[in-house]
A = this chain, B = another copy of it.
C-alpha cells in the first residue's frame, strides 16, 4: 500500500462487501448491534486487505484526535535532565497501548504560547504537564479552557489530576538520618523556588530539623541556583562556612557540586559529605557513589498517562484528585560515609 495507490477507505470496504459504510463502521468499533456473521465477514476482509481507518477522519467525526500533548519545561538546564526523558517514555508506553500518540510541546514558566497554539488548533485530546509551578499559567489556562489534563508533580490548584512522590517526606527522612548521626551543619543547594517540587524538598529539609529541635543555618541555604557557576560558588561558600554536608536538590546541581569540589581539591566524603534529593543516570558514574533519593520517573509518566486516559475514555465521574503514593527509596552510599 504505497502512497500512490491511494489507501483503501471505508467506502471501498463497504462496496466490496455489498454492505453499507455504517455496517463496516460498526463492525470495527463494536458499537451498535450487528450479526456476528456480518461482523466477522467485515473483519476478515479488513484483515486480509490491511484496511486501516483514517484516524484523522474519525477524529473529525468524533471530535477526537487520539493525541495527547506532553509539556516539557523550557528552561535549558532542565530539559537536559534525564528525569523528563524518562517521564516522557513512561507516558509514551501507556498512551501507545491505548492507541494514542504523543505530541511534544515546550513551555517556559512564563510562556505558555506553544501550549495555547496546540490546544487552540485542537491537535490533542488532553495534556500532561511534566512540571508544576507555584503559580502555574499552564494549569490556569487548561482549567479555564476545560481541557482534560494531568500533572506530574503536586499543585494546590483545585480539581487537577496529579501524581507525585512524597518529596517532602523523603527529604525529611534523608535529612533526619544525617541529623541522627550528629551531622547538623548541612548546606542545601536548590534550583528555582517557583517549582513546587523544590519547595517541598526545602520544607522536608526544614521539618527534619524541627523534629530534632534544631534549625538549619540560613547562611547555608542557597536557592534559585540556575546555572553551573552559581552552583559552584554556592558549594565553595558552603565549604567556607564550615558545612559538614551538602544536600543537592537534584542531579544536575549535584553534578556541578561534585565538579566544583574537585576543582577546589576537596574530597568526598573525607572533606565534606554530599547527597542528592534526586538520583539519575547523570550521577551513575560518580565515584564515590552518591547518597540519594531514588524515584522512578518512568513510573510517574505511566501513572500520569493512566490518569489522563481514564479521564479521557472513562466515565466523567472521575473528577477526583488522585495521588498514588509511590514508594521512593533512600540509597545511602559512600558520599556520606
- State the A residues within 8 Å of B (CB): 1-4, 7, 52, 54-57, 59-60, 65-67, 70, 79-80, 82, 85, 88-89, 92, 96, 101-106, 114, 118, 120-123, 144-147, 228, 255-256, 258-259, 262-263, 281-282, 284-287
| CB-nearest residue of chain B to A6 | B63
Contacts of A145 in B (CB 8 A): 1-3
| CB-nearest residue of chain B to A114 | B96
Q: Quick one: which of B59, B70, B82, B258 contacts A56, CB cutoff 8 A?
A: B59
**A and B contact pairs by CB, cutoff 8 A, 21 listed:** A2-B144, A2-B146, A3-B145, A4-B146, A54-B122, A55-B122, A55-B123, A56-B59, A56-B60, A79-B85, A79-B89, A85-B85, A88-B104, A92-B106, A101-B105, A228-B284, A259-B284, A259-B285, A259-B286, A262-B287, A282-B282
A57 CB, min distance to chain B CBs, angstroms: 6
A316 CB, min distance to chain B CBs, angstroms: 13
Known interface pairs A57-B60, A145-B1; A52-B121 also in contact (CB < 8 Å)? yes
| CB-nearest residue of chain B to A259 | B285
A264 CB, min distance to chain B CBs, angstroms: 10
Residue among A105, A118, A121, A287 facing the most chain B CB atoms (10 A cut-off): A121
| CB-nearest residue of chain B to A263 | B287
Contacts of A7 in B (CB 8 A): 122
A289 CB, min distance to chain B CBs, angstroms: 10
The reply to whether B147 and A285 contact each other, CB–CB distance below 8 Å, is: no
A1 CB, min distance to chain B CBs, angstroms: 7
A261 CB, min distance to chain B CBs, angstroms: 9
- CA of A1 to CA of B145, assembled, Å: 7
Q: Quick one: which of B60, B66, B80, B256 contacts A60, CB cutoff 8 A?
A: B60
- CA of A249 to CA of B135, assembled, Å: 44
A177 CB, min distance to chain B CBs, angstroms: 26
The reply to whether B79 and A80 contact each other, CB–CB distance below 8 Å, is: no
A267 CB, min distance to chain B CBs, angstroms: 12
Known interface pairs A80-B82, A122-B56, A145-B3; A255-B104 also in contact (CB < 8 Å)? no
A120 CB, min distance to chain B CBs, angstroms: 4
| CB-nearest residue of chain B to A61 | B60
Contacts of A80 in B (CB 8 A): 82, 85, 281
| CB-nearest residue of chain B to A55 | B121
The reply to whether A89 and B60 contact each other, CB–CB distance below 8 Å, is: no
| CB-nearest residue of chain B to A286 | B259
Contacts of A287 in B (CB 8 A): 259, 262-263
